[in-house]
Amino acid sequence: MTTILVTGGTGTLGRHVTERLRAGGHEVRVLSRHSQPYAVDLREGGSALDAAVTGVDTIVHCATTPRGDEQAARNLIAAARRAGVTHFVYISIVGVDRVPFPYYKVKLAVERLVEESGLGWTILRTTQFHDLLVKMFQGVSKPPVMLLPARVKDQPIEVTEVAERLAELAQGAPAGRVDDMGGPEVRTFESLARSYLRATGRRRPVVKVPLGGAAYRAFRAGGHLAPEHAVGKGTFEDFLAARAGKGGGRAG
């Protein structure tokens, strides 16, 4: 049995990782700003972070925050080094080195920190979780017309499959950058949005808007896709159907 700290272990991905590691018989600590007894703001670090990391063999870093992920990673890595952690596992995003989107630039910077940390490390990059697309479509379907970026595709993946892989990696030896993981289908945003509208019983005219800028060009070129690693099984429709079964369907 090893002691594993899952940062962001209450989040969309982290809670599934935590569940799987606990099922594997490990002692799992969950760290987030609100989860006692390891309620820590990683951007601040301090003695509470040191206490959370003391005695830990492996860290799975799933926490993320709109601003401050780089400082958070610096604090976490420094604490991990002090505590003699042997394996640092980081979840990243396919294309962080190809798409100059601000959040992706931060993810890439954190990858570099992990690689240069002196700790044993593993980095897994995946495509977008189905949950994220639903959140996005919820937002853009509020106005009477649904505006979507023109000529952009996506390859969403089921988060429980990512959690399974991440838990597997966390239980193994440091592996460096492992193969990217993408969802089963590369689809246009429009086709994914129409599936969402159908599943939630909403009617919206869809208007595709060409956007400017380097990040948009890189998304349009498919920099965030991994068609050669379409290893995911669950489709967006499977996800929407399961969600509807849990009461998150119509008007959801």
Ligand X SMILES: NC(=O)c1ccc[n+]([C@@H]2O[C@H](COP(=O)([O-])OP(=O)(O)OC[C@H]3O[C@@H](n4cnc5c(N)ncnc54)[C@H](OP(=O)(O)O)[C@@H]3O)[C@@H](O)[C@H]2O)c1
Q: Which residues bind ligand X (CB under 6 A)?
A: 7-8, 10-14, 32-35, 40-43, 62-65, 72, 91, 93, 107, 126, 128-129, 132
Q: Are 187 and 155 in contact (CB under 8 A)?
A: yes
Minimum CB separation of residue 90 from ligand X in Å reads 8
Choose between 47 and 212: whose C-beta lies nearer to ligand X. 47
SS3 178: coil
Choose between 11 and 184: whose C-beta lies nearer to ligand X. 11
Choose between 11 and 223: whose C-beta lies nearer to ligand X. 11
Closest residue to bound ligand X by CB: 11
Instruction: Please give the sequence-ordered ranges of beta strands (E in DSSP) within 76-145, or none if there are none.
Output: 87-93, 120-126
Minimum CB separation of residue 89 from ligand X in Å reads 11
Burial 137-167 (b: 16+ CB within 10 A, else e): beebbeeeebebeeebbbbbbbbbbbbebbb
Choose between 63 and 148: whose C-beta lies nearer to ligand X. 63
Q: Which is it for the CA torsion 224, 58, 169, 32, positive or negative?
A: negative
Minimum CB separation of residue 221 from ligand X in Å reads 19
